Amino acid sequence: MANTTATILDGNKIAAQIKAEMAEQVQELAAAGLRPGLAVILVGEDPASAIYVRGKVKACEQLGIHSVELKPPASVTTEELVRTVETLNARDEIDGILVQLPLPSHVDSQKVLLTVAPEKDVDGFHPLNVGYLSTQRPGLVPCTPAGVIEILRRSKIPMEGRNAVVIGRSDIVGKPVAMLLLHNNATVTICHSKTRNLPEVARQADILVAAIGRPGFVTPDWVKPGATVIDVGINRVTDRNLFDKLFAGDAAREKSFTEKGSTLVGDVHPEAADVAGAITPVPGGVGPLTIAMLMANTIKACRMRRGRR
C-alpha cells in the first residue's frame, strides 16, 4: 500500500464551509421575503441518478431552499419534457431548473437542455452561460468546475502563473475548468485522447486536473513531484484484476470490495499520492463540491433574477 505523503484536500469539509455560507444567504433572503427555489427533473428509474437527486434535494432541505422534484416515466417524449421545462421557466418561485442526466436514449437531450431559461440554468450548460463564462460576464458556472476552483482557493493553492494541465475536454468539466483556471491567471493546457506524449505533458503541471472517466488512468509517473492533483473522476470498479492493480495491499479497501463487490476510484491511480504535494480523494474530494456549488448557483440565480446581486 502506498505511504501517502500528499496533503489530502478534504472535499466534505470545504463543501460544509460553502453550505454554511449559503445557509446564511438563504436566511438573509428570507428576511427580505424571498426563498430560492430549485426544480429537479428525474426521468425514469436509473439508480445512480436517483442517488444524486436525493443528495441534491437533501441539501436543499438543509439550507432552507424550496425544492420540487418531478419524476416523468422513462417513456417520456422529448416534446413532453420540453413542455415540462417551459412550465418551470414560467413559474416565478422556481429560480433553478436541473435536468438530471443521462436522459433516455430516445430523448433529444440537447433540445431539452436548450429549453431551460438561461437565468434558471443552474448547471451552467446553456450556450448563453457558456458565452458569459468565456467572456467573464456574470452568469451561472457549471457546478463541478466551480467546485474545483473553490477547492484550490480555499486550500490556499495559488493558481496565478502556475502551469495547469486539464486531461479531458468535455463541455461539462474539461472546457469550463480550463476557462476558470485561465481566468485565475494560470497557464492552461487542455489534453485529450489525441494528445501526443500525454504523460510528458501532464508532468509539466503544477496543477493537474483529471476528468476523463477512466479508472486509475493517471499513474504516479505522470505527476510532477509536489504538484496539486484534482481528481474529478468517479468510477465504480467491479473487476477483481483492476482492483488488484489499483489497490493491492490496501486492507480497508480490500474489506469493502469483498463485502460490496465494488469500490469507487477516480481517474488518478491511488499511488499518485506518493508523488503529489496535494490531492483530492475519491470519494470525498470533488464530488461533495458539485452539490454545494449547485446550492450556490440556485441562490445566485435567485439574487440575479430578483435584482439582489
Instruction: Kindly report which listed range (44-58, 171-185, 214-228, 272-286) carries the lowest average pLDDT score.
Output: 44-58
Tens digits of per-residue pLDDT, 245-263?
999 888 988 998 999 999 9
With cut-offs at 50, 70 and 90, classify the pLDDT of residue 212. very high
Task: Work out the mean pLDDT of the chain and round it to a whole number.
Answer: 95
**Structure letter (DSSP) for residue 51:** H
The CA–CA distances, whole Å, from 187 to 82, 165, 203, 211, 274 equal 40, 8, 14, 18, 25
Q: How far apart are CA 204 and CA 224, in angstroms?
A: 6
Of the candidates 19, 25, 56, 231, the residue annotated as catalytic is 56
Q: Who's near 51: CB < 8 A, 6+ residues apart? A: none
Half-sphere exposure of residue 226, counting CA atoms within 13 Å on the CB side?
A: 4
Whether 100 is a known active-site residue: answer: yes
123 catalytic? Reply is yes
Residue 1 has pLDDT above 70, yes or no: no
Confirm whether 56 is a catalytic residue: yes
Whether residue 2 is predicted with pLDDT greater than 70 in this model: the reply is: no
pLDDT recorded at residue 57: 94
| CB atoms inside a 10 Å sphere around CB 154 | 14
Top-confidence residue, 166 or 4: 166
For residue 4, what pLDDT band results from cuts at 50, 70 and 90? low
Please count the helices (runs of H) and the strands (runs of E) in the chain.
Answer: 11, 11
CA distances from 199 to 153, 208, 245, 247, 272 (A): 26, 11, 19, 21, 13
- Structural domains in the chain plus CATH codes: 33-118 (3.40.50.10860), 142-287 (3.40.50.720)
What is the pTM for the complete model shown? 0.94
Stretch 179-186: mean pLDDT: 98
Residue-wise pLDDT tens digits, 86-120: 999 999 999 999 999 999 999 999 999 999 999 99
Q: Which of 121, 123, 206, 231 is catalytic?
A: 123
Task: Identify the active-site residue in 19, 95, 100, 206.
Answer: 100
pLDDT tens digits, 116-159:
999 999 999 999 999 999 999 999 999 999 999 999 999 999 99
Average pLDDT over residues 177-183: 98
